Structure 1
Amino acid sequence: MDAATLSRLEEFEKDKKFYDALQFYRTKVTRSFRLKSANEVAISLVTHALNFFFREKQYQCAIDIATQYAECLSKNNVDLNHAAFELLADSVAKFANFAEIENEAGNTQPEQLLNTARCKCVDLAIQWTKQKSTTPQEKKYGSAAFHTVLAKKFIAVDHLELAKNHFLLSDDSKSFAKFLHQEYEKDNIKKVDSDIIIVEAVLQTLCLDRFPFAVALFKDYVKPNKYPFEKPLFNFQHILFDVIETENQPQYSELTASYQTELKRCYAFIGYLTRIGKLYFGIRDNQCMSGGLGNLFSGLLGAQKEEETATSHITSRTPSRQKATTSAQPSPFGAFPPGMMASAPAPLPKKIQKVEVEEDLD
């Protein structure tokens, strides 16, 4: 920023003229996008504004300038860039952090204001990245690189659930695996076993039709161990990848039946596996419910038409998709090594109760 701009802002700060400062920032940010170095100038202004407003706990002013910047990125068709990702993610993380501070102080109104702002800012930012994306996955979910930056910012302010949710849509399987090992497990180890934590994350990723990322995440997590594993649930996950890639519907039914004892350790698995059956195997059994998965990512992605067929797993090993069926009868599963079954095969329940899964992803 030039000396004249800084001098004017110092006057506003000294006199606590927050509204005047906000209007000045807004005007400068809008005009900055007409310059050749538009984003660089805008980032400097917005960073300065956010530091000032958060320091003074002028949350509404901070929200206003952050959302204006996100809107300007879309309106001016700005190319995706890491500096903008960092600023947006840092703003969102601060909203989450200050909301937690206000919550601990018993201040409900500012907490709600900040949480609403966090959701809105994330939504605006993702819409911008969708607008500039070139791949089907990123047109649907937004920039994977941006989700990675968001996840790491949320880790920095100790919001681990939000971090995990954005890692699911990220492009950094190694950081995600490390996070699950070091941060998420430590926070949840008394409530959930570690093998359930990683398999749940992998199944959630598969439900998003991100098969290659799910495979990479699992491999990064279990390194240096290899199949067969000591933990039955890991063996289930390893075999599931192969069954999905070959779209072997009878083996899918047999696999889930064989590992019922392990799968029942986490009731949410029922919903994820039902969804996977629909996406990857074309199973259209009206007795199978989605386990609440229809709304799993609505907070982050907005209303979208549900995709019923996955494509991310398709390789030379994948056969042509067969006609959808209403049921799948188990058949012998010769791929299991001796002793690797979690329990004796048993038929799946005819009716699967709905599992309510609600996650705040914004």
Structure 2
Amino acid sequence: MDFEFGPADDAFRTDARAWLGQHMTRDPAGSAGLRAWERELGRAGWIGLGWDTGAYGNRRATLTQQVVWAEEYARAGAPGRLGHIGENLLAPTLIAYGSQAQQDRFLPAVARGEELWCQGYSEPGAGSDLAAVRTAAVRDGDVHRISGQKIWTSLAHEADWCFVLARTEAGSRRHHGLSFLLVPMDQPGRIDVRPIRQMSGTAEFNEVFFDGALASAGHVVGGEGNGWRVAMGLLALERGVSTLVQQIGFAEELARVVRLAAESGAVDDPVLKDRLVRQWAELRIMRFNALRTLAGPGGDPGAPSVAKLLWGGWHQRLGELAMAVRGAGAAAGPYDWSAERPYELDALQRLFLFTRADTIYGGSDEIQRNIIAERVLGLPREPR
């Protein structure tokens, strides 16, 4: 595998680094500030680098240049992206499965950073087993009327649109009779978004209730009844360059834990030192696996599952290691009794609590192992 950065990549890195240095707002003020940052990225063409077309105001970049941008963005400490779902999931799906009219309507707004998206997949009782979705969409003239509930919907409280996997054929079961619909979120009385407060104190996940919400019949991607094919195609896009971006963040978290171990003397404990070294080595292996996957032929049905198994367990072990390095102090934290909320979790405590979910969300470890066993190794299907 040849995955070396060349002169053109170095020039691209210089350009990216200079632009970020001139334009980056390290800590935008709330939702309005993050939305303004998305529009700033869009004006400069930094949204949609990986799309196979530059027709929507986005720069086109090679695979290595996409990695360069991701690395520079993460290393600059740039703000978390509100537009990730629209740029990296919805847009490539429209390019692969959507009509020209759908691409012309939605891709320019994503590229400009003007419309934000969320993903309406999981439901109570249909999380890892996505084929069990019960949300229904009934055709009524030139619209579909959607009723049901989605859960764990990231950024639904910020999103302008949601792509929803719903059952459009009454009485259908499992993978059949599903459609992939594009639904506007600004429908008061028809869509209710309720934040889910997590034990870390944050609430980026939401429950979303649809009560007759409307979606245009022209906003069914891939044709009615073909939702499963489109949904699975989208999930395959969750690997790729975004995996490398994630690993840059992981490396920064690991570096923070290593610094703490050195400062506190915990690194002198041979058991903790061994765990730190293992975390570093496993992160390198994850990077090599991601690069191998990117450079190899597409369509490997097991690649996303292997990647999820690797990073989910690794990140969870990092959270546990951070608490072990902290020792007894991990159970306490800074507090200010004069503040409205006197006790706040620090970064490593939030890391530990959030990583409890890493082996569950995005498809549990059990589901990923089933996919590898059945689709890659050809083993018998799990009995139901």
TM over 0.5: no
- Greater helix content: 1
The structure having more radius of gyration, on CA atoms, is 1
TM-score calculated relative to the size of structure 1: 0.27
- Greater strand content: 2
